[in-house]
């Protein structure tokens, strides 16, 4: 029997309206048209293929739901993370914009891949701060298209993740602070040295590039909808750091399905619940402290402003999941048939769904029952192989 001894905290979003159409003002942030453009471009990258959508029938039976759909991003390109779609896509967009500014030409993805503007591209340096996966995507995109790359990481990012970014040719700088401190340092140094910041979090005055990152993520959602073959989930449990992925998923399904869209549940670590705290306050709130969590990719204390614009009225629920659910969920997926490789930050959505179904009161609050079809995204594989082996074997 599948059980988790996880602790959950939950609030319902008083701002959400299930009958509201997708707001016109959000079309500028993310739209199905923009998503289609991103898929057209990304599908032409080397080694592109749609990642699998698994039906976790055994787990669904054990917890008493109609089905669980698991989008497995551990196989996304060779980066083992959905982040491969966002950071590299935003890098391409920035290079295309610079080429247009300097030549008047509209450079295609093929132009970038074939290095047809080396005099311009090779003099551009892209930078960002990262917990690991976003930086790996940015570094890979820079290597793919031929520009420079400098990545900032914080004190808690593993050496394995640092080396993975260096393997793509990036210069990696570690700071003595948390994720939010690394964001500030990367931004300050970029302004001083003329670098382009490609971040997955947004703030006043910095909105366009994170929008491109989020639009890149929608490629996996278009794939998933096709793989669902006409089914519409009743629930989405989606993990969140700054909220970029959660907002992309919420916006895509909201515009696509309208009132038929799934109940949308945002899941965060207990120690880094900036979205839940923001929902309580009705405005963006920063969570202070070291933000320590095993789910390192979700260790974020400040909400992305773009993400908040979507989630403040689009998300139905905000939950936190305790750390003790992480390793058991990873082991559960590793023992699945077929075996699924899921990293620490990949399992928060699934873990919250399982734990919520096991809690009678929580299940009733969320409308999670025998008729429910749950959609989750396994956002990463073993992006830190040593840590993965420790947790799965424990």
Catalytic residue among 72, 131, 200, 384: 131
- Report the alpha-carbon distance of residue 41 to residue 160 in Å, rounded: 30
Quick check: 362 and 8 in contact, CB under 8 A?
yes
Quick check: 12 and 365 in contact, CB under 8 A?
yes
- Report the alpha-carbon distance of residue 23 to residue 20 in Å, rounded: 8
Residues 6+ apart with CB under 8 A from 68: 55, 56, 57, 59, 60, 350, 353, 373, 374, 375, 376
Helical segments of 116-243, H only: 118-121, 133-145, 159-166, 179-193, 208-228
Residues 6+ apart with CB under 8 A from 369: 64, 65, 363
| Bridge partners of residue 376, in order along the sequence | 70
Q: Where are the beta strands (DSSP E) in the chain?
A: 8-12, 53-55, 67-72, 125-130, 148-153, 171-174, 196-197, 235-239, 263-269, 317-321, 373-378
First to last CA, the chain: 19
Peptide bond into 17 cis (omega under 30): no
From 187, 350, 254, 298, select the one nearest 29 (Cα to Cα).
254
- Residue 9 in tokens: 């905290």
Q: Is 83 tagged catalytic?
A: yes
Strand order in the sheet with 125-130: 171-174, 148-153, 125-130, 196-197
Provide the pairing of β-strand 171-174 with 317-321. Answer: unpaired
Catalytic residue among 71, 83, 212, 359: 83
- Residue 259 in tokens: 């009132």
- Report the alpha-carbon distance of residue 179 to residue 154 in Å, rounded: 6
Residues with catalytic function: 83, 131
């Amino acid at each position: 029997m599948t059980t988790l001894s996880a602790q959950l905290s939950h609030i319902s979003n008083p701002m959400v309206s299930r009958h509201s159409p997708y707001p016109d003002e959000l079309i500028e942030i993310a739209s199905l048209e923009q998503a289609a453009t991103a898929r057209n471009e990304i599908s032409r990258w080397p080694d592109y293929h749609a990642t699998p959508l698994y039906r976790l029938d055994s787990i669904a039976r054990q917890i008493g739901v109609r089905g669980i759909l698991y989008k497995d991003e551990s196989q996304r390109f060779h980066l083992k993370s959905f982040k491969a779609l966002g950071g590299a896509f935003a890098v391409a967009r920035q290079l295309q914009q610079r080429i247009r500014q300097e030549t008047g030409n509209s450079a295609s993805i093929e132009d970038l891949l074939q290095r047809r503007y080396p005099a311009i591209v090779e003099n551009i340096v892209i930078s960002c701060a990262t917990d690991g996966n976003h930086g790996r995507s940015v570094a890979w995109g820079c290597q793919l298209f031929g520009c420079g790359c400098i990545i900032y990481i914080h004190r808690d990012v593993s050496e394995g993740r640092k080396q993975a970014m260096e393997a793509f040719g990036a210069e990696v700088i570690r700071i003595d602070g948390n994720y939010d401190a690394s964001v500030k340092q990367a931004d300050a140094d970029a302004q001083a040295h003329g670098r382009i910041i490609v971040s997955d979090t947004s703030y006043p005055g910095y909105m366009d590039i994170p929008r491109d990152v989020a639009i890149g993520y929608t490629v996996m959602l278009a794939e998933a909808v096709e793989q669902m073959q006409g089914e519409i989930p009743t629930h989405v449990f989606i993990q969140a750091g700054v909220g970029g992925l959660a907002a992309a998923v919420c916006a895509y399904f909201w515009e696509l399905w309208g009132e038929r869209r799934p109940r949308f549940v945002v899941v965060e670590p207990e120690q880094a619940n900036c979205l839940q705290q923001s929902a309580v306050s009705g405005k963006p709130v920063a969570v202070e402290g070291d933000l320590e969590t095993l789910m390192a990719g979700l260790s974020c204390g400040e909400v992305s402003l773009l993400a908040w614009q979507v989630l403040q009225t689009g998300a139905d629920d905000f939950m936190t999941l305790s750390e003790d659910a992480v390793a058991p969920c990873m082991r559960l997926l590793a023992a699945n048939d077929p075996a699924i490789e899921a990293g620490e930050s990949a399992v928060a959505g699934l873990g919250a769904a399982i734990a919520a179904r096991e809690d009678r009161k929580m299940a009733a609050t969320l409308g999670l029952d025998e008729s429910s079809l749950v959609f989750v995204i396994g956002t990463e594989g073993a992006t830190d192989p040593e840590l993965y082996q420790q947790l799965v074997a424990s």
